[in-house]
A = this chain, B = another copy of it.
Amino acid sequence: MAELKNRQWLLASRPQGLIKESDFRLNETALPALKDGEVLVRNLAFSFDPTQRGWMSIDTYIPAIPIGNVMRAGAAGQVVESKNPGFGKGDLVFGLLGWEDYTITDGHGMFGMQKLPASTDPLMALSLLGTTGLTAYFGVLDVGQPKAGDTFVVSGAAGATGSVAGMIAKLKGCRVIGIAGGTEKCDWLVKEAGFDAAIDYKREKVGKALSEHCKKGINIYFDNVGGEILDDVLARIAFGARIVLCGAISQYNEMGVSMRGPKNYMNLVLRGARMEGFLVFQFASKNAQAIADLTKWHAEGKIINKIDLAHGLENCPKTIIRLFTGANFGKQLLKVADPQ
């Protein structure tokens, strides 16, 4: 096995503003022999997530990726060789691995590597049943605490987490308004995803449109973008509103530079409202129930799992850039290989 070649994307520089392809550098090495306790994983597919922008820049809830290291990514993979009693050849696995053909790991790493049931679709594990779907699930249900009849607004609504968040809120009896960019996405929200209305931020004034769609104010806002839209929403929250901060993609690009605070935050006082951030691993003890619910809702057709699929390790840098320019439509994944 030691003769396998491994292509790797290394972090070449910390991004300033938008991520550029030159922030990464392609490297090719020969894989070393496995040591006791190690596992050799063939990466099958990568997840692309806003939080990766943070990892590239600064220590957050986990340390920043050191310059020169392999770019960290949520990944599904398959065990090729194992000297670790916890994993066997052929096992499908899931964890924080990296942009490379093969990853050698002791199985611990950050948050550990988990085995997936043998029949698992790697793409499903990285989208609806992975961090993306779980973020929507816990963000809406545990943080947002929807009640039937609530007006629920979500930004980044055609994105992976946003669309699932809106569909879960709909399932709980909320009136759901999505904010997204472009006619295609807005049409999809209303016609396919079952949203009550969609606001196209590229063509409409978001504040004015929110006033029209939310005459009794906004009860829950699931915020994927931050920036001016957060202020537009804060200006229109109902008494007792909950703002679920899911990671503001418009702000990730500014990390460590100049963050813009929501100037209307004092409405939280005037409307007795709260703004709450969360990380999906806070709720890890409830993952099994969440995965069971999401699987059931998906099977019943109540939740659509829309995937935007790229192909080929060589396209990783181009693909992460799509995420921050809003080019992706649905969960951005990249497939490297099929399971054997």
B264, B268, B270, B282: the one contacting A275 at CB < 8 Å is B268
Say yes or no: B268 contacts A258, CB within 8 Å.
no
Q: Which of A243-268 contact B (CB under 8 A)?
A: 245-248, 251, 258-268
Query: Nearest residue in B to A58 (C-beta to C-beta)?
Result: B270
A226 CB-CB contact with B under 8 Å: yes
Q: Which of A133-163 contact B (CB under 8 A)?
A: none
Query: Nearest residue in B to A247 (C-beta to C-beta)?
Result: B269
Q: Which of A267-300 contact B (CB under 8 A)?
A: 267-279, 282
Query: Nearest residue in B to A265 (C-beta to C-beta)?
Result: B261
A60 CB-CB contact with B under 8 Å: yes
Report the separation of the CA atoms of residues A265 and B268 in the bound assembly, to the nearest whole angstrom: 13
A111 CB-CB contact with B under 8 Å: no
Copies, count: 2
Q: Which of A41-81 contact B (CB under 8 A)?
A: 54, 60-61
B54, B60, B258, B265: the one contacting A265 at CB < 8 Å is B265
Chain B min CB distance to A54 (Å): 8
B259, B263, B273: the one contacting A258 at CB < 8 Å is B263
Q: Which of A11-38 contact B (CB under 8 A)?
A: none
B263, B264, B266, B277: the one contacting A272 at CB < 8 Å is B277
Chain B min CB distance to A153 (Å): 18
Say yes or no: A277 contacts B273, CB within 8 Å.
yes
B60, B273, B277: the one contacting A268 at CB < 8 Å is B277
Can you pick out 25 interface pairs between chain A and chain B where the beta carbons lie within 8 Å of each other? A54-B270, A60-B270, A61-B270, A226-B266, A245-B265, A246-B269, A247-B269, A248-B266, A259-B263, A259-B264, A259-B265, A261-B263, A261-B264, A262-B262, A262-B265, A266-B277, A267-B277, A268-B275, A269-B279, A270-B279, A273-B276, A273-B277, A274-B275, A274-B277, A275-B276
Report the separation of the CA atoms of residues A272 and B278 in the bound assembly, to the nearest whole angstrom: 4
Report the separation of the CA atoms of residues A90 and B258 in the bound assembly, to the nearest whole angstrom: 60
Chain B min CB distance to A154 (Å): 16
Report the separation of the CA atoms of residues A6 and B263 in the bound assembly, to the nearest whole angstrom: 42
Q: 0/1 per residue, A100-128, Cβ < 8 Å to B?
A: 00000000000000000000000000000
Report the separation of the CA atoms of residues A269 and B251 in the bound assembly, to the nearest whole angstrom: 12
Chain B min CB distance to A243 (Å): 9
B247, B262, B272, B278: the one contacting A261 at CB < 8 Å is B262
